[in-house]
Structure 1
Amino acid sequence: MKDEIKGKVWKFRDSIDTDVIIPGRYLRTFSLDELSSHVMEGEDPKFAENVEQGDIIVAGWNFGCGSSREQAPVALKHAGVDAIIAKSFARIFYRNAINVGLPVIVADIEADKGDQLRIDLAEGMIQNLSTGNKFNIQPFHDFMLGILEDGGLVKHYLHEKKENQS
């Protein structure tokens, strides 16, 4: 994880729930490869095979609503999604995403599928490199950047614990 993210946009509608992100019938596996191979298939059957490391989801209101399954942000991150920008997030999904080290950004931006974005989390700016438009966002605090940099809350805790013992 880095303060700056660059990637291609995947565009989704309002109210994408966790069962759309990763359908419950696939939750019997512990394989992240298997889980991520089905991510977003109800919304875009080709998403899992075409998403690339560094890609960014841009969505409408209430992204991640529904059940509180942590597998939803885990599967997105493992599939290659580096950030999600939405007009709003379900509270539990937002927390689960940060806990696994996936940046989630509340913003209403103009972007189309395939556009290239640059996100600066520390400065609080999103630039659509395809159109030149810039959007201000709430900068991420150092503590939040630290969690994301370490790959999630548990890894951050272990990193901090190790540094404090030194």
Structure 2
Amino acid sequence: MPYAVTHILVAIILIELFRGYFIKDNKKFPRYYILIAALGGILLDLDYALVFILYPFGFTLEQIHPTYSHILLIPFVLFIAGVVIARLKIKNHGLGKRHMTLPAVFYILSATTLLHILLDFIFFGKLALFYPFSIQTFGLYSILLIPEELRATFLASLDAILLVFWIFWLEFKVRVRDYF
């Protein structure tokens, strides 16, 4: 599976591109949403922490990750939660002070968890996308196109390329130097 940094950076980069080219207003799309996207990008891998708790009881990483977390039901539930919150007009005043809305938070979490699943689907396989309704696994296994001894290097290099891209984006598009 792609490293955690890949999941976080792809989510950040895509939401930065969306924000930079489609919604250019800080009040309509504050930078806090980028943090939400980063958290959503890694949310599905929180089951790694569960492995440390359940390992003494005989559970292995393969039994826990990604069986329960990398399913399409999670982004679907997050999206539906956003729709329900929007329809019921539920507001969080703490978010409102930062020009954020609760439905938007759930939509971003839904999109970035779906993106996480997509990345794992592309690079690896064995994702039971429709669990608990089906245990059939899916995936492209594109990582198999890379020689086995180079796979870890490829994933680390992917992280490095994404990080450099993001740093250049911050410098030239967001103009970080203007903050100092």
TM-score (norm 1): 0.29
Point out the structure with max Rg over C-alpha: 2
TM-score (norm 2): 0.27
Higher strand share: 1
